[in-house]
Structure 1
Amino acid sequence: MEKKKSRSIANSGKIKMQKKLVKSSDKKKKTLKKESMSVKDNIFKEKSLKFAEMDFEDIVAAEGDGEEQMEAKEMKESKRMKKEKPEKGTKRKSTEDPDKPNILQMSKKQRKDVRKQVKTNYELAQKSKKMWEVLRQEKCTKEKRQEILNELRELVSGKVLELVYAHDSVRVIQCCLKFGDESLRSDMFNEVKDHILNMSKCKYAKFFVKQMLRYGTKEQRNHIMSSFHGSVCKMVRHKEASEVIEMAYNNHANLKQRSALLEEFYGPSFAVFKKEGVESLNDIIEAEPEKKRQITEHMAKTLTSMVDKTVIKHTMIHKVLYDFFVHARPQLRSEMIESIREVVVQILHTHDGARVAMQCVWHGTAKDRKVIMKSFKTYVSKICREEYGHWVMLALLDSVDDTKLLSKIVLNEMMKCVGELCDNQYGRKVLLYLLCHRQQLHFHPHIITLLKKGDENATSKKDLNTRRQEVLEAVSKPLLKHVQSHARELVRNKQTCLLVTAIFQNAVGDKKLAMEAICNLASEDLVAIDRDSTNSLDKMHIVEHPAGHIVLKKLIQQDKETQNSDFSEMLVEKVGTEKIATWSTINRGAFILVCLLDCGSDSVKTNIKEAMTPMMKVLQKADFKGAQVLEDRLK
């Protein structure tokens, strides 16, 4: 027991000693912090005194120096201040010039003005900007504008190159190019024509090059295009220069100049030596087929390094990619698909980009197609509504064997925005392709020929008809439901009326509710309207409407093709014999009755003849063609 007590006393003593040591170390740390803070305050005061005594030129130079140089200068100045430390009780003599304003007392805007004044061409820029403010206004008269342009011409002569590199003065030069005559543009262009490439890479000077492409002469444009030779690949990667060369390629280059720009992607020799008569990669390969392998390998190496969202968006890259896919061997093509499959969604909005995306869909593996489809998430509606993007969607519908995955990623999102697709001409093409595939009634032969190129791809194994049937089953129910809920809008629209007939003809499943929605519109009373009045089409009965009567005729004719009179019988039942008889008083209504007599079942024909018995005298007096044809059918 005594041993235990002695041990506990010893342990308690150690604990007390440790606490004392911790307290003493904390006190030392606090004192050290106070000392370091006082030293920092002294250094800050010395720096502020030194900063107040500096000239404006020194301040501007100091702001332009790097961090390391500034630190070195501050260290030297602090050492000098310590050596010249005044004696106790005496004040430091101020070396500050009383005529100079104190920089520490200035606002941020005032300090900014001081920095500008030190720069070269400050007065010239200020004067030219005041003139530019008047020149750029729409209310400025031609005489006043010409007078200002003459003054600016004399003012900036010989200094154009210096002015185009500043964000404010380059606007003055741009305005001169826009409103000036050809001689003014030529004088300005001659001053800077040897610096076009460097100007294209500058954030502000690039606008001068763009304006010269827009307003310059043919010779000046040719000079700009030739300035790019040998640097195209570097310019495409450059943030600022890529805008200039993209504009030049799309808007101002002719076929020969475009070919010259694209040749630099084929190899180093093509960047230096330009051949006459070459308009495309096909011409080069036909003339020198032994270089095909070398060219495609160099293109693969160059393009792989450009797979970036900011670079691959350029149409020039899309054209080079398409040429590569056309001529590359399968192994290189597969490697390129793997590298660009995640950014395909960025390029399919252009003509060449869409064809590249189609090549990726056709020749990519199942994994490649899955990655491409996943990248389309939240963009399906936008892609379907694009002029060229919808081609890629049609290629997907033809190629993907895993229809469940296709339905989950693409078709479900597509069906959520059926209304948007119905209102768009390209969106309707996608819906019609789901329903009718490649019927020439809905698709141009050029599009059909383009899509047939992917039928023999090595990846797709499933039968085309089987795949189409599985896709059709996935979209039929949402399409029929959309017709049921939006029957009036769809039937009265010339653009969507054929889509409605295609849905009834090809969709699988129960169509009864959708048919009832159409028949309910037909059962409304036929009221005569003034055709010259506004919104007369909105008030027209479906039988009289230019698009509505086509839908009724097509649906009745489908009964004959399918040997099933479901729609005809439902139409006669919903409308009733009394209302159907009134249709004979208008030309289009009479033709619908003729269609019912030609295509309907025996019961439908009997009901029509019974309804028209009391209207025979009216038909004999009518002078329109439909009444005469109907009268002949009833006889």
Structure 2
Amino acid sequence: MVKKIRVRTKQKTGNASKKGQSKDATFKKRIHKPARPMKRKVAKRKESKVVLKPDKDKTASVKKAHDSRIAHKLKQLDLTTTLVKMWEEFRKQKCPNRAEILQNILTIIRGRVREFAFKHDTARVLQTVMKYGNSKQRLAIYDELKDSILELCKCKYSKFLVKKFLIYCPQQREEIMSFFYGHVRRLIRHTEAASLLELAYNDYANAHQREALTREFYGVITVGDEKHYKVKRLKETITPLLNKETLKHSIIHKPLLDYLLMAGEQERADMIEQLRERLVELLHTKEGSRVAMQCIWHGTAKDRKVIVKSFKTFVKKIAMEEHGHYVLLAVFDCIDDTVLVKKVIISELADNLSELAADRHGRRVLLYLLCPRNPVYFNSAMLRVLAPGDGNVHSKKSPEARRSELHSAVSPLLVKLTADHVSDWIRDKQLSQFLLAVVQHVEGDSVAPILENVVNLLDEPFDEETHIVGDACGHSVVRKLLSIENNRVDTSSVFLADLIINRVPENELRSWATINRGAFVLVSLVASQVKDVSETIRSVLDPSVLTEQWNTDHLQGQAALLKDLT
């Protein structure tokens, strides 16, 4: 312990000597450092403040202007309050003195319409005046505001006044449209003006005016311009507009379609890459749906995958749109990845089959999966729209293989749907055609549940007014079903004719012959090519017994039945 203490003492001493040396060195440096010259303190001279005397005339004028502004605001407030009170009265559905109040309002705002057009409350007053006023009163308001149309379009409240001009001033529509010319690209990107421009373009512009509105996207094109110059100008004007808010407006869909049709392969591929995730925004218009179809036809496998995935949660809406359902038909025609199509599109269709079958366009999508390009269900105009996608370079699988895979996926779903709705659909003119299509284009005996439910309806006690063979549409469907199965005698083992003979009592069959439509159903049974059906029905129906039950004047169906039986 003593040694350790001594060692520590020595160490401390050594450190202390070093510290002493460093202090001495610092002190010497300070001694030899030259002294700083002392600054002489100079007393600051106090500046005398100059006090300016106010100009009495100027102060008076400022005060007068201020008072004038306050008075003007108060006057405007009084006018606004008066107008709103009058508006509350004459906007009621039953207002006995509406014409008088309307004239008083016009007297107050005459020459000052622009002041009231941009305010949220008085703008509503003007809109109601446009609604209930006569043509002369409407024109008076329009004349005061026509030079401010573009400003009105950009205001949150006054844009509705421009809408009223379009509705109630048909003679001035041409002039209103002319105010938009040259300003379309700027207005389409404005939050408030874009919706109004879209309304004018879709609902009120004629063909000539639409062309004039979209001309701005093409730039100045002269005769003899080469194709790549036109494409370049279109790209320069369209590219800045490719965002979610602007892309939904139909006014840019036509220029976008023209660009895809004229552009080269690389330029088109670049544009498809920009559009592929946002095509859902385009599908509500004819040109927009054609843009989406171009992207599907000319897109790579990666582009197509992104496009299909972007449709997720929107498939039902797309299938029920007038123009959008064409895009799904193009998907079924071109995309080789049927697993992806089943997972994203068919699975969502399966969740909404009843609604789709009841809708004209949705039903067409389901029929295309069953029997694509069938001229019975798809007219020549539709087939011409779909034809450009045939033979595209990015589809490697044969069309037959692709259609077979989709058909096998959707057939069980449609059979179950149809079987559950036989009683309703068999009496409906449109849905009965869908029922017949399912029976005709689903192979094998999988249609048995549908035929079983049809026979259940035929087996009900006969009543001329309520029975299915007495229904105008129902008896026709039964006859067509009997005709369809004549062509599949060799490929099926379940037949409606067999089920009728085995399930419906003989006396019920004879009672069918008492009405014209029932007799025609029996004629179809007699002509059936299913084994033993014709012989059985002939044995049940004795012509001599039938003629005794009928009136002296045979109906057309009864006459045909007698002819076949004898």
Q: Give the TM-score category using the shorter length.
A: 0.7 to 0.9
Query: What are the residue-to-residue correspondences of 1:534-613 with 2, within 5 Å?
Result: 540-564=466-490, 566-567=494-495, 568-613=497-542
- Does the Cα contact within 8 Å between 1:473 and 1:508 map onto a contact in 2? no
Kindly state the Cα deviation for residue 117 of structure 1 after the two structures are TM-superposed.
9.8
Kindly state the Cα deviation for residue 233 of structure 1 after the two structures are TM-superposed.
0.3
- Does the Cα contact within 8 Å between 1:526 and 1:583 map onto a contact in 2? yes
Query: What are the residue-to-residue correspondences of 1:250-289 with 2, within 5 Å?
Result: 250-267=202-219, 270=220, 288-289=223-224
Kindly state the Cα deviation for residue 444 of structure 1 after the two structures are TM-superposed.
2.2
Deviation per CA, 1:563-595: give whole Å up to 9, x if none. Answer: 347312223222243432322122122112211
Kindly state the Cα deviation for residue 458 of structure 1 after the two structures are TM-superposed.
2.1
- Residue matched to 2:112: 159
Pairing partner for 2:290 from 333, 355, 368: 355
1:126 is the counterpart of 2:81 = yes
C-alpha distance in structure 2 between counterparts of 1:3 and 1:166, whole Å:
98
1:229 is the counterpart of 2:164 = no
C-alpha distance in structure 1 between counterparts of 2:557 and 2:142, whole Å:
72
- Residue matched to 2:425: 490
Deviation per CA, 1:427-459: give whole Å up to 9, x if none. Answer: 111122122222222222211211112213222
Pairing partner for 2:132 from 165, 179, 183: 179
- Does the Cα contact within 8 Å between 1:619 and 1:627 map onto a contact in 2? no
Query: What are the residue-to-residue correspondences of 1:429-508 with 2, within 5 Å?
Result: 429-508=364-443
Kindly state the Cα deviation for residue 619 of structure 1 after the two structures are TM-superposed.
6.4
Query: What are the residue-to-residue correspondences of 1:9-88 with 2, within 5 Å?
Result: none
In structure 1, the residue corresponding to 2:322 is in which secondary structure?
coil
C-alpha distance in structure 1 between counterparts of 2:250 and 2:203, whole Å:
11
Kindly state the Cα deviation for residue 126 of structure 1 after the two structures are TM-superposed.
0.8
Pairing partner for 2:196 from 227, 239, 244: 244
- Does the Cα contact within 8 Å between 2:214 and 2:255 map onto a contact in 1? yes
- CA distance 1:185–1:514, change in 2 (3 Å): closer
In structure 1, the residue corresponding to 2:429 is in which secondary structure?
coil
- Does the Cα contact within 8 Å between 1:620 and 1:631 map onto a contact in 2? no
C-alpha distance in structure 1 between counterparts of 2:143 and 2:547, whole Å:
88
- CA distance 1:201–1:454, change in 2 (3 Å): same
Q: Unpaired runs of 5+ in structure 1?
A: 5-114, 271-283, 530-539
- The aligned amino acid for 2:105 is L
1:196 is the counterpart of 2:149 = yes
- Residue matched to 2:47: none
Compute the TM-score of the two structures, normalised by the length of structure 1.
0.73
Deviates more, 1:572-581 or 1:555-564: 572-581
Query: What are the residue-to-residue correspondences of 1:90-101 with 2, within 5 Å?
Result: none
Kindly state the Cα deviation for residue 376 of structure 1 after the two structures are TM-superposed.
1.7
Kindly state the Cα deviation for residue 217 of structure 1 after the two structures are TM-superposed.
5.1
In structure 1, the residue corresponding to 2:313 is in which secondary structure?
coil
- The aligned amino acid for 1:421 is L
C-alpha distance in structure 2 between counterparts of 1:363 and 1:350, whole Å:
20
- CA distance 1:173–1:513, change in 2 (3 Å): closer
Kindly state the Cα deviation for residue 3 of structure 1 after the two structures are TM-superposed.
13
Kindly state the Cα deviation for residue 366 of structure 1 after the two structures are TM-superposed.
1.8
- Residue matched to 1:379: 314
Which structure has the larger Rg over C-alpha atoms? Answer: 2
- Residue matched to 1:524: 460
- Does the Cα contact within 8 Å between 1:341 and 1:372 map onto a contact in 2? yes
In structure 1, the residue corresponding to 2:95 is in which secondary structure?
coil
**Percentage of matched positions with identical amino acids:** 40
In structure 1, the residue corresponding to 2:107 is in which secondary structure?
helix
Deviation per CA, 1:602-634: give whole Å up to 9, x if none. Answer: 411111011112744346646211111111111
- Residue matched to 2:560: 629
- CA distance 1:217–1:576, change in 2 (3 Å): closer
- Residue matched to 1:514: 450
Pairing partner for 1:404 from 339, 349, 354: 339
C-alpha distance in structure 1 between counterparts of 2:258 and 2:233, whole Å:
13
In structure 2, the residue corresponding to 1:237 is in which secondary structure?
coil
- CA distance 1:578–1:289, change in 2 (3 Å): farther
C-alpha distance in structure 1 between counterparts of 2:379 and 2:128, whole Å:
46
Q: Unpaired runs of 5+ in structure 2?
A: 5-69
- The aligned amino acid for 1:161 is R
C-alpha distance in structure 2 between counterparts of 1:345 and 1:116, whole Å:
55
- Does the Cα contact within 8 Å between 1:403 and 1:467 map onto a contact in 2? yes
- CA distance 1:353–1:292, change in 2 (3 Å): same
C-alpha distance in structure 2 between counterparts of 1:305 and 1:3, whole Å:
87
- Residue matched to 2:162: 209
- Does the Cα contact within 8 Å between 1:497 and 1:550 map onto a contact in 2? no
- Does the Cα contact within 8 Å between 2:523 and 2:560 map onto a contact in 1? yes
Kindly state the Cα deviation for residue 146 of structure 1 after the two structures are TM-superposed.
2.6
- Residue matched to 1:53: none
1:139 is the counterpart of 2:65 = no
Kindly state the Cα deviation for residue 316 of structure 1 after the two structures are TM-superposed.
0.6
Deviation per CA, 1:317-354: give whole Å up to 9, x if none. Answer: 22222222232223222222211121211221222222
Kindly state the Cα deviation for residue 248 of structure 1 after the two structures are TM-superposed.
1.8
C-alpha distance in structure 1 between counterparts of 2:338 and 2:413, whole Å:
17
- Residue matched to 1:617: 547
- Residue matched to 1:280: none
Deviation per CA, 1:527-559: give whole Å up to 9, x if none. Answer: 233xxxxxxxxxx22222222222221221122
C-alpha distance in structure 2 between counterparts of 1:2 and 1:399, whole Å:
98
Deviation per CA, 1:33-77: give whole Å up to 9, x if none. Answer: xxxxxxxxxxxxxxxxxxxxxxxxxxxxxxxxxxxxxxxxxxxxx
- Does the Cα contact within 8 Å between 1:422 and 1:496 map onto a contact in 2? yes
C-alpha distance in structure 2 between counterparts of 1:164 and 1:237, whole Å:
23
